Amino acid sequence: MITYKSKEDFLNMSIAGKVVKSIHEEIRNNAIEGVTLKELDLIAKKIIEISKCKSNFYEYRGYPSYICASPNDVVVHGIPTDYRLKDGDILSIDVGAVYNGLHADAATTYGIGSVSNDAKKLMETTESALLGAIDLVEDGQALGTIGEKINSIGERFPINKTLMDVIKGLDGASSEMVERSKTIFFPGDPAERVYLIRRGAVRLSRVYESGEEITVAMLRENSLFGVLSLLTGHRSDRFYHSIAFTRVEIITAPANSVLRAIEADASVGLLLLQGLSSRILQTETMIETLTHRDMSSRLVSFLMVLCRDFGVASEKGITIDLRLSHQAIAEAIGSTRVTITRLLGDLKDSGLLMIDKKKITVFDPIALAKRFN
């Protein structure tokens, strides 16, 4: 339902908007090398407190701050931390205020010190897209027309190749669909190809002589795997068992083609390094999950990983739509189906989550995290 605003509503929104503007101006003046994100958050807090407004971020579903702060490649709605700004950073700040129940919200991006030409062009192009869209806003205007305007301006910015673009363009590259629970490669298989996930999730596990299988990583879209031969410099056998955790689409290319691309263009090597860094982080997160001896804590930790890497915000919380069976979850964290069924039941009875047709919705991830033992 569309609710039309009165003149009084617009006046209240205008007052809230002026507060948001003043916060952005003050943060822009103070966002310099050496300042922490938490210090910028304090600026917003002080202005909101003296303005007779309220923050529309602070304490919303447990959110701890007055602004969202995302430096460089941190995704939007980042929580302010003790990170100190550095020369060359680009910083996105989102802030909102509420006055008499009416909201104003605005996000902007600042360059810290001397930023790269690419960063400057990105910010200039984005601002041009925003202004172009605003120019078209009028009574009766179609949203599609505004979207087309934004897209046409955005296309003027030359987008650098992504890792997906690189792998897809290599000699011998192909796309494969792998059904849920099917093996992509076994330990000991020849390491002849490199893989990149286009859609879905992949589970990597280590199989021991005893038959025990331990999950070492849960890989999401755009994750790179099967690259051991690139690291060792010679053909190696597979070290891990790779399984489609969901129905997955993967882009795969011969390892030799990847090596030739690195030799021809150093930027390809950098993209691969970035992809591997993400893989290492995912592995460390999974290892941390499995260090919990208490199975309840291990399950909660695993659900937090799924919320972070696969969760989608919904009205009720964070929804994990991987259609996971209790058996699949049990195998991922070294438990049994019976135990997982019981523990998920306990979490549901505690009002922390709901499960509907294998879709798990965590109502409040912060409250769930407090269940760690």
Nearest to 122 by CA among 92, 165, 142: 92
Nearest to 167 by CA among 249, 246, 232, 278: 249
pTM over the 0.95 mark: no
CATH superfamily of 163-288: Jelly Rolls (2.60.120.10)
- SS in 3 state form for 58-77? CCHHHCCCCEEEEECCCCCC
pLDDT value of residue 75: 82
Return the axis-axis angle of helices 337-349 and 295-310, rounded to nearest 10°: 80
Out of 1.10.1740.10, 1.10.10.10, 3.20.20.370, 3.30.30.60, which CATH number does the structure's domain 295-369 have?
1.10.10.10
The pLDDT tens digits of the residues spanning 102-158 come to 999 999 998 999 888 778 878 888 888 889 889 988 887 888 888 888 887 776 665
Which top CATH class is 7-115?
A: alpha beta
pLDDT value of residue 92: 94
So where are the chain's domains? 7-115, 116-158, 163-288, 295-369
Confidence label for 233 from pLDDT (cuts 50, 70 and 90): low
